Structure 1
Amino acid sequence: MMDLSFVLNGNAVACSCTPGRRLLDLLREEFALTGAKPGCEIGRCGACMVWLDDEPVNACLVMAWQLEGRRVTTIEALAAAPSSEPVRDALSRCGAVQCGYCSAGMVMTLTHLHLREPRPDAREAASLACGNLCRCTGYGGLKRTIDVLFGVAQEATVGRSASRR
């Protein structure tokens, strides 16, 4: 067993656990934060995406021994943050939310990309978001969301306006 201290959603927390316990299990079982979902549990689906020191990671791949003194942000904190509002709005407006199982991971990834400087273009954002899988195959809505958030929709609108002049 090890005593562990880290910052979770802006609050200092502590617990005792085995060094090999997964962050995903700690979040769900010790801290009752169930937004990160167990999906593939091998780091391929993105359903358990969280931020570790402001970088997206799959919580199923992070071990407790890696958390000491670090900062973890989950969808529970990000869902109410103004920084995720454009992403949440675009996902909703573009029809990218279906059953909701992947939504938290999508919000975590897309918000991170949306906050990056320089912000990626739509093609790069789609490539970087490819680690988030949708069980309902809502990829049409996700593509529209990425287009809206990362420039294709705005560029197309600007291009049409310029050609009318």
Structure 2
Amino acid sequence: MLTGVQKYYIGWDVMHLQFSTQMKSQVYEVMLELYSSVNVSSISHTAKGFFVHIKMMKTVTGFSWPRLLQSQCKRPWLKLDLEKYKGDFDSDEDNAKTRCERALKELSLSNKESQVPAPNLKDEAVISSVPISSSDDDEEEEEEDGMNLQDESYDPFDPLS
């Protein structure tokens, strides 16, 4: 473990984070491939004596990452500050529901300005049936595999009918 890191280099893009430092003429470097994309403008970092604190925000919110990195290997030097982000993990269902409701509200508010009035539509739908057989089919060929295609209870998408 490196302690007392004051000068370091951090580089990043949407899916990668690179960290390097030099201690006693020895260069230490790591390149990490993140699980998913992060907002590059939100990355902040600070040297804290025994560690370097790096804060990143996900580009797509609304779901939890199973891990920070693409690799499933456990990195013993990489820690997640659960106390600081405890509220993010408490009730995922409540948070997901709240986020969905908030997103729907934002969408409805932003779409009100650009909405075009809908034409006068009826509340009823007209359903018409179109025969599957053509005019040159015989009446005997009306049944295929023991099923009457004109039968109203027949559903081609239901494997049990």
Superposition TM-score, scaled by structure 2 size:
0.26
Question: If each structure's strand is expressed as a fraction of its own residues, which one has the higher value?
Answer: 2
Question: If each structure's helix is expressed as a fraction of its own residues, which one has the higher value?
Answer: 1
Structure whose CA Rg is larger: 2
Superposition TM-score, scaled by structure 1 size:
0.26
Q: Which has the higher contact order (CA 8 A, sep 6+)?
A: 1
